[in-house]
Amino acid sequence: MISADARFEKCAMMVPLQRDASARQRSRRLYDELGFALSRLERDALAGWGRRSGGRLLLLTGRRVGGLAKLASLLARAGGGELLGLLEAYRQRRLSGHVGDRSAAAIDGTLAIGREGKRMVAGVARALARDPKANAPAVLGALLGFGAGSGGLDGNGGLPDLDLLAGIGAHRSPLTHTLVAGIVVEGLLLALADLAAEVHGRLPVDHDPLWDALAKIGRPLTINLAIGTSAGLAYHLLVDALVQPGAYHGLPIKMPMEAHQAGLAINGLAEGADAAARAKRHRPVEIVQGGVPEKSAGRKTVDAVAGLASRLTARFGRAS
């Protein structure tokens, strides 16, 4: 006669086996259903999908090239404007005041970026708290995409560093460390989402509910995965440009290291601007009226540093 403990142990051992068998059976069913759907995908449908994917790549390329040209124009105008401002301030003998103004503006801009990032994180948290089931796919897609594009906070690995598969000599290839990587990745993700929609419409009537769930979250997941990947690529390129600089591999001309860094930085900024434009949402404009204008944080910082320098100069001048 089998004891109660022995029967319990036998049942406990059978549960994982039953789960494994059930998982294998479901995997087989999903595979068969996918094969059935693909077999019903007509040649015309595949050709149409190919044409849409190719046309989409052209649009993505045009959008990023246009963004790169716009960024280059803005940088040129900003650089020329800053140089003219410095020369004019020197001519009018107010160079120190001009430098202080520009420093204050730079500090304020940095703080504004930080506040915008904090606002975005708070918005994500509110969206998850309000409707986690509906918003989780978008957040998950963005996080996964950023990780895949950046390789992590240290900027090592990820999609750009796939060129290391060809050896260390192929590292920082123009194909993986420029806008080309963003174009290819976004194009592939959108093409896969397009193909998934075609396949879903040709599944058996009695199919696994997983297909319906994937179709429901496919669009927000794919779009945010693409945006997150672009943001990750931008982060990776900026890290390579500013923190761990290195030269592009395989360029037909020789350039100084500063030119390689500038190329990485410009491509990173352009990819980041493209990701930000896609993720942008309309927000209410805040208008503050009345009262005495208050100094900005940057202006307060610059004035404090200037005041401290003045006091130290006066003290040491008296001592001498």
pLDDT digits (tens, 9 = 90+) for 36-45: 888 888 888 8
What is the DSSP-derived secondary structure letter of residue 204? -
φ and ψ of 316, to 5 deg:
-70, -25
Query: pLDDT (tens digit, 9 = 90+) per residue, 73-106?
Result: 766 666 666 666 666 766 777 766 655 666 666 5
Q: What is the mean pLDDT of the chain?
A: 75
Q: What is the pLDDT of residue 289?
A: 40
In order of 122, 184, 187, the CA distances from 235 in angstroms are: 21, 17, 20
Is pLDDT larger for residue 226 or for residue 114? Answer: 226
Q: What is the pLDDT of residue 297?
A: 60
How many residues belong to the chain?
Answer: 320
**Interval 223-243 mean pLDDT:** 87
Q: What is the pLDDT of residue 249?
A: 85
How far does Cα 310 stand from its chain's mean position?
44
- Residue 284: is its pLDDT beyond 50? no
What is the DSSP-derived secondary structure letter of residue 296? P
Is pLDDT larger for residue 142 or for residue 181? Answer: 181
Query: pLDDT (tens digit, 9 = 90+) per residue, 264-283?
Result: 888 888 888 888 888 775 34
Confidence class for position 15, pLDDT limits 50, 70, 90? low
Q: What is the rounded CA–CA span in Å between residue 308 and residue 318?
A: 16
Q: What is the rounded CA–CA span in Å between residue 244 and residue 181?
A: 19
Q: What is the pLDDT of residue 104?
A: 63
Q: Which of 279, 190, 195 has its CA nearest to residue 232?
A: 279
Is pLDDT larger for residue 67 or for residue 229? Answer: 229
Q: What is the pLDDT of residue 316?
A: 62
- Count of CB atoms within 10 A of residue 156's CB? 14
φ and ψ of 99, to 5 deg:
-60, -40
Q: What is the rounded CA–CA span in Å between residue 226 and residue 187?
A: 9
